A and B are shown apart, each in its own frame.
Chain A
């Protein structure tokens, strides 16, 4: 039943905690502990990544269902079990999480100097939570991981963050928690209705139309905050600005995907009628997000805040794609999530590079870096271009597929939703010009150093991925094609049967 022959997903999920145990067992002075923690964390995350590559190799792309499924009885009297598995939609997010974690650890190598061990422990716990969330096939397990992610992230922002870290951390926590409570209610209601929390069962279950709207709203409250959708997005810029670089990277790269993933896992397949009814609302909010936050990004003076706002705009494109519920729209949304996971992560790393050297995120503080930092300028240019969706880079494929999917729904949805093409180019080029171009005017920038070998090692995989995803996206989209097709068919079948029922009933 399991293609790997051993409980691969459990291993990938829980192995980081072994690294945590190793770190906690080390004794010695602060220096030893710190060095040990760095290496342990790096090796642990690398081993986890290597293990997760088995998923890449052994995943059967033709199968639209769940694979690598493992399950154990947990609370059988309540119909709750410990069940993990991945399908085409989640498998790449597991890989994204395991790939970004070692890069983050490497990026924090020198920039984190206080409480290094605790930092690394939080990070590995975070990895466990992320992977578990994407692999969970039981609603209760999912909910635990979904909420569990909050705790290490809260600590990362609150302890290793910038000056307003406490405000940002609490805001982050309260916003996401408030939504999640409603999701818990929705899960309870579903459990009450269907009698199981097994997601495979839930996906096949038919939920009464009258209930769907309420459930949709409850899920929406949770996922919209996580995405984040306008107007519940303001926790994100604050959290990004205060978080340490690695925290921002994971936040943008993986955590933002949890909301959209939730929509794809719960709202769209389980609540088809409500999805169809609520789509116009989502479209409106998403288009507003694209235009509004792109404009706000244009006015920013803080690099991280600018990229944070650009994330909101890009996720607006994702939500448009998901709720078109056609093959191109959903594939585009998934691809956009992946590419945003790589590209925005890389952009936050780019900010981290100069922040480590000059300790400022003020855009006006920089200028003329191209002279001193050609490698950095190249990487930054590539990621900026990917961010504004240049064909041949990762950013284009998703954005364009969503455009096509949206076009099938409505011309104006496609047109307005794609205004990000113009505005995105505006804020990214404006940022790039102010940071990289121009001539150096400040003395401390004259001696600034280009990327070190460690930093090159962090960026190289991201550069390769960005180009690979842009030139040959099939090697990624192949994973989710079957699952997306199945989801779209399922959705339309459900809508059809409901409308037929509605036609029959009044007679």
Chain B
């Protein structure tokens, strides 16, 4: 019951704020949505505590039947187990903090009620996603967060760039969603149901089902790949990542909530949720590992040369999501969810502090025009340092525990893809620390490069914004230490119950404890090295980066232009499609298909015109024609008699 309240309270808040927002005013809309969110987080946390510490029993809360068609039966139901309660508690807490932060950040906006309504709508959809008891409801949440993300990226709809980014996000996600939907259909065809309980119970039975698609595969492999395509879209993995950096057009609280803490991790959640099946799909998992590792490395390289404060963090998110997928790919779903959890706190913190910087700097986002802000906004700078320390994996901050676990797991997999993942992640860890400190130094330290009016005007944000920052900073410091033992320690099986399944052959949770010592130390060491290099380049020798960029210009441009993915897609997909659209319309429809009936009509009318001309009205002509006709008739009669 508590659980249902946690899920549906945000919907109520969103509906009230959205439908009555104009009537009741901005203040009331804020009050309603925040009250609902607080209520949701209280219920969400108590549901989590009740299940994990109060020895509650996992179960399913049935709400309503949804679709029934023959043996295809789906209901609206909330799944109550460790995985879903962890997610619910995290989502409601972070969402509540971001609602509160937005009161300050959006205070100059024209339609505040609309913003809060969208934000709550998003929270609802996300909660539906994580509590789904079947794949279709998960898909509902999946698309729902996509819609909310679209609305919020395009929140400032009078900016063309925001509209373009919103559409791009929705469409790229839709490409992934098509894969997801096909995956759901295959799950139904294989298991005869899309309810998790039935699917997971039937895993052993359908193990050897085959499916033909580009050769014959085990059905589980195809399912795994199709679902992973969906996850790639939502979680911005290599190939379908192009929407995430552009999504930064949305207001910063949106970036923090949707494009860092919650929505983009939905793909990782899906992998964890589907672990009972994926455990029997080794090829699919290998693909997950490779794509995740490549994304982690790719995004980190791009993050090193970007200049927009939010885009740097966006690429960092992309890269960290890659880490989570590697963990899932090698079978350590627990580690991926753990990183998801710590990442939610420190990445939300980083985005919100970036928002606070932007707020202080009169909407400036270019870090080349910042610097020396530490004295001006000390609190923001401090929490951003904390967030970066957590991101770089410096002990004892949260990221240290989770990142370490993932790196260890990838090493412990002892497979080719695992080793590839390991080295990608190590390099990415170095780059992560590097770009984080590049960002910190360019923003807060050294001499300012800002316009002096802007700089003089820079001020710390109001308490309504700093309070959430401080709370998130506490999370970024403690979540790793507090939850490490429970989620990954000796008692992990007790904690997770049946929510995450490791196959009988999967001993990764044990093996990752047994890795050589240098492997455990590696992420921290390269992280510190990254910090040191960033210090050298940007603090000690500030002229070097520009010279480096000049002497390695092709590499620099390649990174600055994000490996030219956008250009490639434009040239290879978008433009040909638009061209095809015009050709099909103007030539296909208007000329060829319509040409036939139009030509028929023209022939009929010109033909009848010509026939009409025979009617000259001259008796002589008629008589002559008749005569000829008679002659022809008689000749035919005589000839063929």
Binding site for B on A (CB under 8 A): 171, 174-175, 231, 233-234, 237, 292, 295-296, 298-300, 326-328, 331-332, 368, 370-371, 374, 385, 390-392, 396-397, 400-401, 403-404, 407-408, 411, 414-415, 418-419, 421-422, 425-426, 429-430, 433, 436-439, 471-474, 477-478, 481, 484-485
Q: Which residues of B contact A396 (CB under 8 A)?
A: 143
Q: Which residues of B contact A296 (CB under 8 A)?
A: 581, 584-585, 588-589
Q: Which applies to chain A's interface (DSSP): helix, strand, loop or mixed?
A: helix
Judge whether A474 and B66 touch: CB under 8 Å: yes
Judge whether B171 and A429 touch: CB under 8 Å: yes
Of all chain B residues, the one with the shortest Cβ separation from A294 is B581
A-B contact pairs, 21 of them (CB 8 A): A295-B584, A295-B585, A299-B582, A374-B22, A391-B140, A392-B143, A396-B143, A400-B136, A401-B67, A404-B185, A407-B188, A411-B182, A422-B178, A425-B171, A425-B174, A433-B154, A433-B163, A439-B158, A471-B66, A474-B67, A477-B69
Judge whether B578 and A298 touch: CB under 8 Å: yes
With A391-B139, A392-B140 already in contact, the answer to whether A407 and B189 are too (CB < 8 A) is yes
With A296-B588, A430-B167 already in contact, the answer to whether A474 and B68 are too (CB < 8 A) is yes
Of all chain B residues, the one with the shortest Cβ separation from A326 is B70
How far is it, in angstroms, between the C-alpha of A305 and the C-alpha of B69 when the chains are bound? 34
Judge whether A473 and B67 touch: CB under 8 Å: yes
How far is it, in angstroms, between the C-alpha of A41 and the C-alpha of B175 when the chains are bound? 46
Q: Which residues of B contact A327 (CB under 8 A)?
A: 69-72
Supplied contacts A391-B139, A418-B178, A429-B150, 19 more A-B pairs, CB within 8 Å: A231-B593, A234-B597, A292-B588, A295-B580, A296-B584, A299-B585, A327-B70, A371-B158, A392-B144, A397-B67, A415-B178, A421-B177, A422-B174, A433-B163, A436-B157, A437-B157, A437-B158, A438-B157, A438-B160
Q: Is the CB of B1 closer than 8 A to any CB of chain A?
A: no
Select one of A390, A401, A426, A438 contacting B147, CB under 8 A: A390
Q: Is the CB of B608 closer than 8 A to any CB of chain A?
A: no
A296, A404, A473, most chain B CB atoms within 10 A: A404
Min C-beta distance of B233 to chain A, whole Å: 11
How far is it, in angstroms, between the C-alpha of A391 and the C-alpha of B146 when the chains are bound? 11
Q: Type the 1/0 row for B34-77, where 1 means its CB is closer than 8 Å to any CB of A.
A: 00000000000000000000000000000011111111100010
Judge whether B139 and A408 touch: CB under 8 Å: no
With A328-B70, A472-B64, A473-B67 already in contact, the answer to whether A403 and B181 are too (CB < 8 A) is yes
With A298-B577, A332-B69, A473-B67 already in contact, the answer to whether A407 and B154 are too (CB < 8 A) is no
Q: Which residues of B contact A471 (CB under 8 A)?
A: 64, 66, 76
How far is it, in angstroms, between the C-alpha of A234 and the C-alpha of B175 when the chains are bound? 29
How far is it, in angstroms, between the C-alpha of A61 and the C-alpha of B171 when the chains are bound? 39
With A331-B69, A391-B136 already in contact, the answer to whether A234 and B594 are too (CB < 8 A) is yes
Judge whether B181 and A421 touch: CB under 8 Å: yes
A-contacting residues, B533-585, CB 8 Å: 577-578, 580-582, 584-585
How far is it, in angstroms, between the C-alpha of A30 and the C-alpha of B67 when the chains are bound? 51
Binding site for A on B (CB under 8 A): 22, 64-72, 76, 136, 139-140, 143-144, 147, 150, 154, 157-158, 160, 163, 166-167, 170-171, 174-175, 177-178, 181-182, 185-186, 188-189, 213, 577-578, 580-582, 584-585, 588-589, 593-594, 597
Judge whether B585 and A300 touch: CB under 8 Å: yes
Judge whether A429 and B167 touch: CB under 8 Å: yes
Q: Which residues of A contact B188 (CB under 8 A)?
A: 404, 407
Of all chain B residues, the one with the shortest Cβ separation from A412 is B213
With A429-B170, A472-B64 already in contact, the answer to whether A414 and B22 are too (CB < 8 A) is no
Q: Which residues of B contact A477 (CB under 8 A)?
A: 67-69
Q: Which residues of A contact B589 (CB under 8 A)?
A: 234, 237, 296
How far is it, in angstroms, between the C-alpha of A42 and the C-alpha of B141 when the chains are bound? 40
Min C-beta distance of A395 to chain B, whole Å: 11
How far is it, in angstroms, between the C-alpha of A299 and the C-alpha of B594 when the chains are bound? 17
Q: Which residues of A contact B171 (CB under 8 A)?
A: 422, 425-426, 429
With A292-B588, A328-B70, A392-B144 already in contact, the answer to whether A438 and B594 are too (CB < 8 A) is no
The 5 closest A-B pairs by CB, nearest first: A327-B70, A407-B185, A299-B581, A437-B157, A391-B140
Of all chain A residues, the one with the shortest Cβ separation from B143 is A391
Q: Which residues of B contact A300 (CB under 8 A)?
A: 585
Select one of A174, A231, A328 contacting B69, CB under 8 A: A328
Select one of B144, B185, B588 contacting A403, CB under 8 A: B185
A370, A407, A430, A481, most chain B CB atoms within 10 A: A407
Q: Which residues of B contact A292 (CB under 8 A)?
A: 584, 588
How far is it, in angstroms, between the C-alpha of A292 and the C-alpha of B178 when the chains are bound? 18
How far is it, in angstroms, between the C-alpha of A91 and the C-alpha of B167 when the chains are bound? 39
Select one of B143, B178, B580 contacting A390, CB under 8 A: B143
How far is it, in angstroms, between the C-alpha of A174 and the C-alpha of B150 when the chains are bound? 44
Min C-beta distance of A226 to chain B, whole Å: 16
Q: Which residues of B contact A331 (CB under 8 A)?
A: 69-70
Of all chain A residues, the one with the shortest Cβ separation from B19 is A378
Judge whether A407 and B182 touch: CB under 8 Å: yes
Judge whether A234 and B158 touch: CB under 8 Å: no
How far is it, in angstroms, between the C-alpha of A284 and the C-alpha of B174 when the chains are bound? 23
Judge whether B158 and A474 touch: CB under 8 Å: no
Q: Which residues of A contact B189 (CB under 8 A)?
A: 404, 407-408
Judge whether A295 and B577 touch: CB under 8 Å: yes
Of all chain B residues, the one with the shortest Cβ separation from A334 is B69
How far is it, in angstroms, between the C-alpha of A174 and the C-alpha of B189 when the chains are bound? 44
Q: Which residues of A contact B140 (CB under 8 A)?
A: 391-392
With A234-B593, A425-B174, A474-B68 already in contact, the answer to whether A433 and B585 are too (CB < 8 A) is no
Judge whether A171 and B597 touch: CB under 8 Å: yes
Min C-beta distance of B439 to chain A, whole Å: 32
Q: Which residues of B contact A175 (CB under 8 A)?
A: 597
Q: Which residues of B contact A174 (CB under 8 A)?
A: 597
How far is it, in angstroms, between the C-alpha of A484 and the C-alpha of B186 when the chains are bound? 22
How far is it, in angstroms, between the C-alpha of A327 and the C-alpha of B189 when the chains are bound? 13
Min C-beta distance of A327 to chain B, whole Å: 3
Judge whether B143 and A481 touch: CB under 8 Å: no
Q: Which residues of B contact A400 (CB under 8 A)?
A: 67, 136, 181
Judge whether B177 and A370 touch: CB under 8 Å: no
How far is it, in angstroms, between the C-alpha of A159 and the C-alpha of B72 when the chains are bound? 48
How far is it, in angstroms, between the C-alpha of A485 and the C-alpha of B72 when the chains are bound? 13
Q: Which residues of B contact A385 (CB under 8 A)?
A: 147
How far is it, in angstroms, between the C-alpha of A415 and the C-alpha of B177 when the chains are bound? 11
With A295-B584, A368-B158, A421-B174 already in contact, the answer to whether A481 and B68 are too (CB < 8 A) is yes
Q: Which residues of A contact B71 (CB under 8 A)?
A: 327
Q: Which residues of A contact B139 (CB under 8 A)?
A: 391
Min C-beta distance of A466 to chain B, whole Å: 14
Min C-beta distance of A164 to chain B, whole Å: 13
Judge whether B581 and A295 touch: CB under 8 Å: yes
Of all chain A residues, the one with the shortest Cβ separation from B141 is A391
A237, A385, A408, A426, most chain B CB atoms within 10 A: A426
With A234-B589, A421-B177, A430-B167 already in contact, the answer to whether A401 and B580 are too (CB < 8 A) is no
How far is it, in angstroms, between the C-alpha of A151 and the C-alpha of B182 when the chains are bound? 43
How far is it, in angstroms, between the C-alpha of A299 and the C-alpha of B575 when the chains are bound? 12
How far is it, in angstroms, between the C-alpha of A331 and the C-alpha of B70 when the chains are bound? 9
How far is it, in angstroms, between the C-alpha of A429 and the C-alpha of B157 when the chains are bound? 13
Select one of B158, B182, B588 contacting A438, CB under 8 A: B158
B166, B171, B185, most chain A CB atoms within 10 A: B185
Judge whether A407 and B186 touch: CB under 8 Å: yes
Select one of B65, B70, B581 contacting A485, CB under 8 A: B70
How far is it, in angstroms, between the C-alpha of A419 and the C-alpha of B171 when the chains are bound? 12
Judge whether B182 and A418 touch: CB under 8 Å: yes
How far is it, in angstroms, between the C-alpha of A371 and the C-alpha of B22 when the chains are bound? 13
Judge whether A404 and B157 touch: CB under 8 Å: no
Of all chain A residues, the one with the shortest Cβ separation from B128 is A392
Select one of A326, A418, A437, A478 contacting B163, CB under 8 A: A437
Q: Which residues of A contact B154 (CB under 8 A)?
A: 433, 437
